[in-house]
Amino acid sequence: MPSQYPIDPSRTDLAREFMDNPMGPHSAALQRIVTRMRDSEAEGRYVLVTRIPYEEWGLAQLSGRRGVDLTLLEDQVFTSIEEAERAVFRMRWEQITGAPLALD
């Protein structure tokens, strides 16, 4: 069962913490958000995929159904794992909170 920990869209301080250091370590409050994002429903969840090992990553959406392929987002390609992590964080943030992540 997915986590029910709410994400407060006004906590952009935690989003900034992630953007500054996407690979961690993270504060306890940010780790709860990251865990919540990873525990969300499989259907429609954004995930990272390796396109070329150690060189290129992309984004995809899970179908949520066993045996049904994920949907690659062809326009989302990254040459840095950190940039890919930032992108998936933004997409999950909006998907879960219903509000786009607005950072200065």
In total, how many domains does the chain have? 1
Domain housing 76: 12-97
Q: Is residue 88 part of a domain?
A: yes
Q: Is residue 72 part of a domain?
A: yes
Look up the pTM and report it.
0.89
Chain segment 88-97, per-residue pLDDT in tens: 999 999 999 9
Chain segment 27-36, per-residue pLDDT in tens: 999 999 999 9
SS3 labels along the chain: CCCCCCCCCCCHHHHHHHHHCCCCCCCHHHHHHHHHHHCCCCCCCEEEEEEECCCEEEEEECCCCCCCCCEEEEEEEECCHHHHHHHHHHHHHHHHHCCCCCCC
